Amino acid sequence: MKNLKIFTGNCHRPLAEEICKYLSIPLEPAKVKQFPDREVQVEIGTSVRGDDVFIIQPTPAPAENWFELFLMVDALVRSSAGRITAVLTYCGYTCQDRKDKPHVPISIDVMATIMSAIGVKRVILFEIHNETTIGFFHPCLVDHLYSTPVLIPVCQELEINEKDWVIVSSDLGRAERTRGFARRLSPNFPVASIDKRREDNGRVKVMNIVGDIKGKNLLLFDDMIRTAATLIEDIEALKEKGAKKIISCVTHLNLTPGAVERIIASDIELVVATNSLPFSPPIGHEKRFRIVSVASLIAQAIQRVHENKSVTELYVQIPS
């Protein structure tokens, strides 16, 4: 394989630039813009013949982020790129990963099928909602990275210890991953879980807290915050059960309008999250948020894939 080259769309250019800085290579030129009617236009600004190409592109809403990725892949294929790897620091539509009612699509399957059909050979995913989603990307090769290597040092810096703290899984479905996270802090770190039920109106209701949290500080572990409505309900339920200080530790801040204001108005002490997605300036300056960069982790994964080395050391194995 020839040269390592990195491209990006418009979603999160600062992260792509930071990754390139770690790799000591330039971010390659590409024009990704819209016509007046909002159709996406892509033009690759350099030769890629035979090169090992990586496209860094989170894919939150709007759907243009997916279309930018698709059209960049097609442009690179038509420019004779050697191998194309999509680096999705956030993969949209992964919550739509099952046919849970009649007459609905499995949306992430659609996106993954398109990627493999147009020429993506490998995908680097970062902390997806459900690991079974990886199967939809076949025949693409997939490397799945976890946020634990960048979040654990922050927890240690905040002196989160097994004596005064309990790590709480946001729901029973994430309990196993939460236990794995806790064991990396300490083998005997106490863990609790929130038992929830989804009601007919789509809202999530807290039914029970599994575990002893009374008089303890809590680290609430989840993969994503969107509206923050569920987070607020979790906080209120945990406070009612006697929790003291609560910190939220998440990978993705995919915040909708009003979410920041809800978090600031809540009883939460701090939200620790990665920069897998772009965030608005108020978050960067708000003391209630602690943003941790994933650029070094992603850069190491890209370097290992390019050199055909194992990426396993960057994985965070979740103990059973």
Residues acting as catalytic residues = 196
- Give the residue among 82, 52, 4, 6 at the shortest CA–CA distance from 295: 6
Q: Which amino acid is at 144?
A: H
Q: How many CB atoms lie within 10 A of CB 61?
A: 11
- Give the residue among 221, 232, 294 at the shortest CA–CA distance from 260: 232
Please state the length of the chain: 320
CA distances from 309 to 154, 279, 313, 314 (A): 28, 33, 10, 11
Residue 66 CA to residue 55 CA, distance in Å, equals 12
What distance, in Å, lies between the first and last C-alpha atoms of the chain?
Answer: 38
Question: Could you tell me which residues come within 8 angstroms of residue 265 by beta carbon, excluding any fewer than 6 positions away?
Answer: none
Place of tokens 């097994």: 162
DSSP reduced 3-state for 140: coil
Residue 22 CA to residue 138 CA, distance in Å, equals 30
Six-digit token pair at 310?
């194992």
DSSP 8-state assignment for residue 27:
B
Q: Which amino acid is at 245?
A: K
Q: Which amino acid is at 114?
A: I
